Amino acid sequence: METPETSGKTHRHHGDLRETLISAGIELLDEGGLEALTLRRCAARAGVSHAAPAHHFKGISGLLTAIVARGYRKFTLTMIEEREKAANEPYARLEAICQGYLRFARENDALFVLMFSPQKLDFDDEELALQSESAYEVLAETCAPFQHGEAGSQGTEIMVWSLVHGFAVLSRRNRSGIADKMTPAVHFSDILPQLALKLPTP
Amino acid sequence: METPETSGKTHRHHGDLRETLISAGIELLDEGGLEALTLRRCAARAGVSHAAPAHHFKGISGLLTAIVARGYRKFTLTMIEEREKAANEPYARLEAICQGYLRFARENDALFVLMFSPQKLDFDDEELALQSESAYEVLAETCAPFQHGEAGSQGTEIMVWSLVHGFAVLSRRNRSGIADKMTPAVHFSDILPQLALKLPTP
DNA sequence: AGCGCTAACTTGACACTGTCTAGTTGCCTG
DNA sequence: CAGGCAACTAGACAGTGTCAAGTTAGCGCT
């Protein structure tokens, strides 16, 4: 039998270079944004040569994928955390995970951008698939209590996900000091109620 | 008086290197995706040296910004085109610009990604601001007939924009052959009606 | 125990990227 | 008709990711 823990290989350098590199990448990410995240810089910060990461990741995209996978994990936890603070009532719980979504985007700006960047990520990676589906699962189960429309439960999920994701993307521009006409000067809690969400009649 | 046309400078090379470089960039974009778009490659395709673009754009970000600005123009036109084919009725017009939105995203994949990529774009550029606000204007005027909620007309606009943008982003994953649980197997026309959109009582 | 073998890691090279600095050239203006 | 200037070229430089060849340390095997 093999547990995930036994797969940890303790080699000669420091405990786990793979984990160290991921952490270094996240540090670079919130210190200097996406531009600052570089394979060679990660290696340097971890104290190894620039070619060392190749033994742990499939190129730069492998490293980015691992970082994003860890990002999804934190993302999921943030939504759950907010949901547990909310009243045990479907609508309050839904609003809570949305606030968690937005808080994560606010507090992990560059990581959030990377997570939803379609470039340079290896979507065949199973760890990424696992973590991202786990995040979606939180959304799905929080949407489940509501009455679904023409498109079934997935229609409700996509409606909510799109709304909050789009709102997060637009809100980002504000923080970057862009100030378009399309940057929302509106609270999310004022637009969520405009979805036609109903509870089924018991 | 100065018209936008008189500002065209005809120098010695070909008519307008600036315009040629933008077109070359767009070509590279839909031939090889975002990875293929490079300052040096644009220059090569335009038949000039690698340092020539510097006289027309403020670095790579200037070129990308110009490409994106042109993208927004086409984007706006696509939405208007669909809207004019629709019945002259508020809801049909709104659905039409959403279909235009999604069609543009489908037909200009890499350009669409670049347009909403927060990196490497110069958001202080006034041409970009002009074109992107012009796109938003189409959305705003199509949303105007509806009854607005707590957050006013901008609340309605952001709700619709977020919904269609989020849907476009999620749909992209399908086409890339990712096949998550979060890729919608749903038609947009089935989830748009789930927004609580009402016309004011006359 | 001793001896490979293998995986981790280093060093160096390569083809790229964007940007900066000098030159060169051709057009327009005074 | 000169002078100036903007467009453009050629070359260099610091970075990037990736590949090829060495080195070294720890493990299993007879």
What CATH code is carried by the domain that includes residue B146? 1.10.357.10
B81 with B177, same domain: the answer is yes
Estimate in Å the CA B156 to C1' D15 gap, whole number.
Answer: 46
Say whether pLDDT at B9 is over 60.
Answer: no
Pairwise CB contact (< 8 Å): A158 & B172: no
Say whether pLDDT at B85 is over 80.
Answer: yes
Residues in chain B: 202
pLDDT band at A177 (very low <50, low <70, confident <90, very high): low
What does the pLDDT read at residue B27?
Answer: 98
Phi, psi of B34 (to 5 degrees): -65, -30
Domain-located, residue A62: no
Pick from B52-66, B147-161, B173-187: least confident:
B173-187
Say whether pLDDT at B12 is over 60.
Answer: no
What does the pLDDT read at residue B7?
Answer: 33
What does the pLDDT read at residue A179?
Answer: 65
What CATH number has the domain bearing residue A52? 1.10.10
B76 with B46, same domain: the answer is no
Contact B198/B147 with Cβ under 8 angstroms? yes
State chain A's mean pLDDT as an integer. Answer: 90
Query: Rounded mean pLDDT of B140-168?
Result: 94
Strand D contact with B40 (CB < 7 A): no
Q: What percent of chain A has pLDDT over 70?
A: 90
How far apart are the CA of A194 and the nearest CA of chain B, in angstroms? 5
A90 with A27, same domain: the answer is no
Task: Using an 8 Å CB-CB cutoff, list chain A residues near B79.
Answer: none
Domain, as residue range, for A133? 69-193
Domain-located, residue B171: yes
Pick from A130-144, A186-200, B177-191: least confident:
B177-191
Number of domains in chain B: 2
Pick from A135-139, A172-176, B153-157, B188-192: least confident:
A172-176
B85 with B172, same domain: the answer is yes
B98 with B179, same domain: the answer is yes
Euclidean distance between the first and the last CA atom of chain A, given in angstroms as a whole number: 47
A34 with A90, same domain: the answer is no
Domain-located, residue A199: no
Contact A194/B152 with Cβ under 8 angstroms? no
Domain-located, residue B136: yes
Domain-located, residue B64: no
Pick from A11-15, A18-22, A116-120, B64-68: least confident:
A11-15
A48 with A107, same domain: the answer is no
Domain-located, residue A43: yes
What does the pLDDT read at residue B178?
Answer: 67
Query: Rounded mean pLDDT of B97-103?
Result: 98
Say whether pLDDT at A11 is over 50.
Answer: no
Strand C contact with A55 (CB < 7 A): yes
B86 with B174, same domain: the answer is yes
Strand C contact with A45 (CB < 7 A): no
Say whether pLDDT at B80 is over 80.
Answer: yes
Pairwise CB contact (< 8 Å): A118 & B116: no
A35 with A83, same domain: the answer is no
Q: B37: which residues sit within 8 A by CB, 6+ positions away?
A: B25, B28, B29, B64, B67, B110, B114
Residue of A nearest to B140 (CA): A182
State chain B's mean pLDDT as an integer. Answer: 90
